[in-house]
Structure 1
């Protein structure tokens, strides 16, 4: 959670190595600030070594009394690395547990907020870290990662010793990779190695301010003499034109410029940007613009100035990313492992041509997806493209060509082949993906030419605390009832058991009758395309999985055998761009449905949400439809950035992180909470079952539903406006209101209260977490949502 105050200029001091003079520079800066009659706060989060040598004590000794307030949050006696100092206290049984990174960040944020509240006028804060950029914190995490949620502007202290040029540049790049704002690089003006000379030129080319001061005198054995010598050194720094005064001016300017830029962004945005999926006529004021200054983990850091000038509130507030950034976030924003993976591939490859070539990131990813991932047991090939929509375009080409080739369909007739799908489905915004959806949706354009037939499917939800299957009008006439109660969610998703029920026979009869009528009318189809389990943009509709399973069986003309075989009937496409790769708690819906597709598409979570990339997986029989010695028979489709090495490497790294989460305690606990007490449920959610059942009973809720990271609340609404309804948007408007923020057990980083960024689909509100969102944060969101629904 980034903190930014008008009345408080904050800078974090990091060192490019140990013993580079962080405390000397912190003291010099504090003295220079105090010399301007500016109140100064000095904060040392973690200190090791005796109190007589503590850095905050040094600052207090050499800055004029009464002009600086110094704090140290965690003090350890042993003069060793913080992680070792903490371990020694555990071993000595003088410490019960090692403070977590969360605890450190919360403590720092609390101190800074206290400074802002107590400061009567414009003040400076200097936060001095320990050791070098990657020195470990108490928990062993790199400082660069531990302090990143605070996102404080940084002063990097360069290394003036032998080898210091390299360590300074390496430290700068480490901070840059983590998104830090580096306002200045300071180092001693040492005239033997003259590192400052090289670094001044190196960083000037990058627009980074570099300044130097003379190094301090050698330490003297006599304490009184040493104190006087050091005092004289600081006095001379202030008296002479050493550049430290210019540093203060520069840092003040950086602070002011950042605030001015944030304040100007809403108007500049309204003047130049055309947003996707936004009616600009309804978002035309500066307050309608969400200015994101940074993002980390599950939170945006959003610019939102207080309307009361006398309130020392942060101009930046944490805002929970309640839609997982359009369903992409996997392990949170700015995850260092993904960033480093991107840098690794960018540095090694940049972008390289892919046709008839290969590089290791793409090959590793293809093998993982096909052999050990969602394609295991049925797929033989992976085709890479740019995003979910283009991945669907590829899938449609594959399926239609395979069908036309096998059935000797003439080219003129092949152009009129349609698809079979579900009403309300959405497969992307490119023209071909649009054409694979019906006319009832709003995601279309003037060239939209719906080609196919779309079944209106039965749906699943929890209403009044009970799971139910809601039937469509056509099925109601066949079954004789509008909805069917279910004993549990796990029963609904136990497809093999439900295949023997009367409802399964009704579904099969209904589908066969409809397809027979279409055939008699002369309709020709070349593929079946489904969003398994949940139709996303079409309204977050949870489809009865039994209906989808039987639809596949009928299309293929045979029940599933449990193993993949050569396709029959029509090729089956699973659009798992949204639902795949554990968004719903499972890697793919295929094992749950009990049928494998012939083609499937993955994106979004594929790269952990960091980069656009899609993979279209295909079975060997589909691939063989394009095999020929005639080039014209090939799959002549591609994109300039096909198999982008950076995206592929990030995807490989994301899959490793997900593998760790799959066996972690938090997923295990969530799965057990959804079990029936005897066996683990085949479906589960990070949202608590008690919460779901409770809100489903509220008078303004039609039904609630959840799987994996997804929560969907369908509101009762008197209008039938569908997507353009404002019901859900209005209901949850309080989530965006700064004045309505509440503190929920320090759920946000820094222990702060937070707002929530959310998206709606008409009368449907949905919320989505990352795969690793902390349970305490999800509980906080549940309380917010519950309170709003109860008070409405």
Structure 2
């Protein structure tokens, strides 16, 4: 079919995610990918600076992962995981657990980040129920986003995404998330205030909290809001002192994005559960894990089936996804990929320091391979985001500014020359915007950085 035919059929039949179809431009018609590039039907190439919604670790059409999936497809494509086990699922679970701290060594497979979080929340609730305790309170953090299923939406209710379904959500206690950035000299006071607020929540819900859930070090969909490892360690200490469970949502931060294998490793903590997805298969196939500590698994063992975790998905531990995950993890742990992760972080540091010279750039921040900064405007409603996105697309860069937040999250295959070239374009476009008198007039007077009230719309 021609490009026009595909786009016409798309317009007639497809409902795109996180898109207001009444105002959105037609989608790009992707036909192939290679490395950090996606080629469209009209022959144009775009540098994927968002790793296709943060899932692509090693580049598009990576031959190592593609070969592993093809070989597995010719051997065993699917088996009901309630009745069978198979080599790819067992080996992937073992390899992931070997990278995690402590006794995080029980893997429950599911389909995506939302379901990984939903699994963790249900496990936490039933864990206490199996021990005769009725704990129904969850604690989330301001701005946190954990997915689009009902439980995940409930703990992410402060993200601003879920107003249309407010009546479906169950109550959740929301604690402050003290964001930080380069040159932030007020963070310790704001962390102390946030921890005081968390202490108050824990105190008034004593023996009622099933779990705390937090995106460690980086809140992705909230606008790449970052906190210090010190704060994360303090949260973990308070969860332990309160005798409740700690869930880390590492759907985005896992598999090297923070510069370490996982954010919990970088922070030096061991949660009770960790939710993984996105980069798990290198961007090839949907798959997720909820990994728990052994004592949680043991609490579900009993003669009664009612004490078992009666949850599952049709494609749980799909062999193709597991094969992709094994190949992706092997690449990730290799010396070449580890060197590139360090190289990307160093290059981001250099370019962030340079772009911060511009008047309209505020709150530059960096964690591992994720660089971000703020531009004028009020959260996701800022007009600068769509304008910047289109201008960068015209220059061959695929980005998704989150309102007034610009971020760069490339696949690990990008070399220094390609990443510098992308930053050159970003710098040039924003420099020209900075020269616009109307834009400069509103520069850093746009109010508090990314308050929760300024967050509806699309990551």
Q: Distance in 1 between matches of 2:53 and 2:119?
A: 22
State the match for 2:121 in structure 1: 396
State the match for 1:511 in structure 2: 198
**TM superposition shift of 1:276:** 0.3
**TM superposition shift of 1:459:** 1.1
* CA 1:588–1:440: 2 relative to 1, 3 Å: closer
SS at match of 1:282: coil
Contact preservation (8 Å) 1:661, 1:667: no
State the match for 2:171 in structure 1: 451
Contact preservation (8 Å) 2:246, 2:272: yes
**TM superposition shift of 1:380:** 2.3
Aligned residues: 432
**TM superposition shift of 1:760:** 2.0
State the match for 1:39 in structure 2: none
State the match for 2:151 in structure 1: 432
State the match for 1:289 in structure 2: 27
Within the alignment, does 1:533 sit opposite 2:220 as a pair?
A: no
Within the alignment, does 1:730 sit opposite 2:387 as a pair?
A: yes
After TM superposition, the structure 1 = structure 2 runs for residues 51-450 of structure 1, keeping only pairs within 5 Å, are: 261-283=2-24, 288-303=26-41, 315-370=42-97, 372-374=98-100, 376-406=101-131, 408-410=132-134, 414=135, 417-439=136-158, 441-443=160-162, 445-446=164-165, 447-450=167-170
Q: Distance in 2 between matches of 1:577 and 1:469?
A: 30
**TM superposition shift of 1:510:** 4.5
> For each residue in 1:567-587, what CA deviation from the matched residue of structure 2 results, as whole angstroms up to 9, or x when unmatched?
x61111010010011012111
CA-based RMSD of the aligned residues comes to 2.2
Contact preservation (8 Å) 1:332, 1:772: yes
State the match for 1:543 in structure 2: 227
TM superposition score normalised by structure 1: 0.52
* CA 1:469–1:343: 2 relative to 1, 3 Å: farther
**TM superposition shift of 1:768:** 1.3
Runs of 4 or more, structure 1, over 6 Å off, are: none
State the match for 1:657 in structure 2: 331
**TM superposition shift of 1:732:** 4.1
**TM superposition shift of 1:381:** 0.7
SS at match of 1:759: coil
Larger relative contact order (CA 8 Å, sep ≥ 6): 2
**TM superposition shift of 1:373:** 1.7
Contact preservation (8 Å) 1:418, 1:525: yes
Q: Distance in 1 between matches of 2:156 and 2:208?
A: 16
* CA 1:524–1:666: 2 relative to 1, 3 Å: closer
**TM superposition shift of 1:470:** 5.2
Q: Distance in 2 between matches of 1:383 and 1:450?
A: 24
**TM superposition shift of 1:708:** 2.3
Q: Distance in 2 between matches of 1:667 and 1:349?
A: 33
**TM superposition shift of 1:273:** 0.9
After TM superposition, the structure 1 = structure 2 runs for residues 25-64 of structure 1, keeping only pairs within 5 Å, are: none
**TM superposition shift of 1:599:** 0.5
State the match for 1:556 in structure 2: 240
Q: Distance in 1 between matches of 2:55 and 2:179?
A: 25
**TM superposition shift of 1:515:** 3.1
Contact preservation (8 Å) 2:247, 2:273: yes
* CA 1:507–1:388: 2 relative to 1, 3 Å: closer
> For each residue in 1:93-152, what CA deviation from the matched residue of structure 2 results, as whole angstroms up to 9, or x when unmatched?
xxxxxxxxxxxxxxxxxxxxxxxxxxxxxxxxxxxxxxxxxxxxxxxxxxxxxxxxxxxx
**Which of these residues, 709, 732, 737, is aligned with residue 369 of structure 2?**
709
Q: Distance in 1 between matches of 2:163 and 2:121?
A: 18
Contact preservation (8 Å) 1:298, 1:773: yes
Q: Distance in 1 between matches of 2:163 and 2:66?
A: 35
TM superposition score normalised by structure 2: 0.88
Q: Distance in 2 between matches of 1:431 and 1:687?
A: 39
SS at match of 1:403: helix
